[in-house]
Amino acid sequence: MFKSIRLKNFKAYRDTGEVPLAPLTVIVGLNNSGKSTLLHGILVLKQTAQDANQRPALITNGLVDLNGFYDIVHGQQKAEEASFSISLVRDQAQQVLLHGREGTQPRQMPIADRLDVSFGLGAEAKDIEVEQATLAAGDQIIIQAKKGAPNWRSDFVPAAISRDSEIDFRNFIPDLGLSGRAIVLTPELIDASSMISIQGHFWMQWLTSSVHWVSPIRRRVPWSANIGARASTEFGLAVR
């Protein structure tokens, strides 16, 4: 399903580079060398995609518990501009046939095969928020947007549609978000919004339905567990 993953400024990695993924991928390394972190990048997107509230914030507990922002960002950087990013590339191109308004010709639309998303600490220091996200098909940008900023980019949305308005996010996927705005709903804008929503739908489906996690055969060590304290072996802890 996924051809590669890349993590930047994420936990143990400053930059993994493109890490290839195959139908069977074996990751070998010493304890604490970052093997599980590669999986965490995919799992944290999956559990965020499953958030019914569709907030543009990373969900850090669920399938994998990553704790707070400074536990994730590489080197626990305290700088305000600190951020981290996750990139996923699919292993095959896919297209859908779009039937537009009456009198227009159907056209092929490629589904993005690459997702790049970066996260930073929210202004109120409560959430890990989306900073920027890109969906791309090959070298062409389906949509690229920065949270809270205008001038988004798309090589597929007609040039007649203005790029100077702030764009919405659903989870970590950019969305034209037609509701709740004082805008003129032209047929072209409705078509563009539908096209972007289709892109988000496919990526949410891939992450929520096609990514499966087989956890270790033991209960998780709770965050409240103290190192060196007596604890039940059902948590996988040694008893001193």
Identify the helix (H) or strand (E) that includes residue 194: helix 187-209
Give pLDDT tens digits for 204-232.
999 999 888 887 666 665 655 555 554 44
User: What is the rounded CA–CA span in Å between residue 194 and residue 158?
Assistant: 13
Question: At residue 188, what are phi and psi to the nearest 5 degrees?
Answer: -65, -40
- Select from 142, 151, 240 the least CA-distant residue to 200: 142
Q: Please report where in the chains the tokens 């995609």 appear, as a residue.
A: 49
pTM surpassing 0.85? no
Give pLDDT tens digits for 77-99.
676 678 999 999 998 778 877 77
Q: Which residues contact 29 (CB under 8 A, 6 or more apart)?
A: 35
Domain edges within the chain: 2-235
User: What is the rounded CA–CA span in Å between residue 202 and residue 56?
Assistant: 18
Nearest 5°: CA angle at 14, between 213 and 86? Answer: 40
8-state DSSP, 180? T
Strands in the chain per DSSP E: 2-10, 13-15, 19-20, 83-90, 94-98, 107-111, 114-121, 128-137, 140-146, 168-170, 173-175
Q: What is the pLDDT along the chain (240 residues), one digit of tens a residue?
A: 899 999 999 999 999 999 999 888 888 888 888 888 999 999 999 999 999 888 899 999 998 999 889 899 988 667 667 899 999 999 877 887 777 666 667 778 889 999 999 999 987 767 899 999 999 999 999 999 998 888 899 998 888 888 877 788 989 999 886 655 556 677 777 788 888 888 999 999 999 998 888 876 666 656 555 555 544 444 444 434
Exposed / middle / buried, residue 223 (Cβ in 10 Å: 0-12, 13-18, 19+): exposed
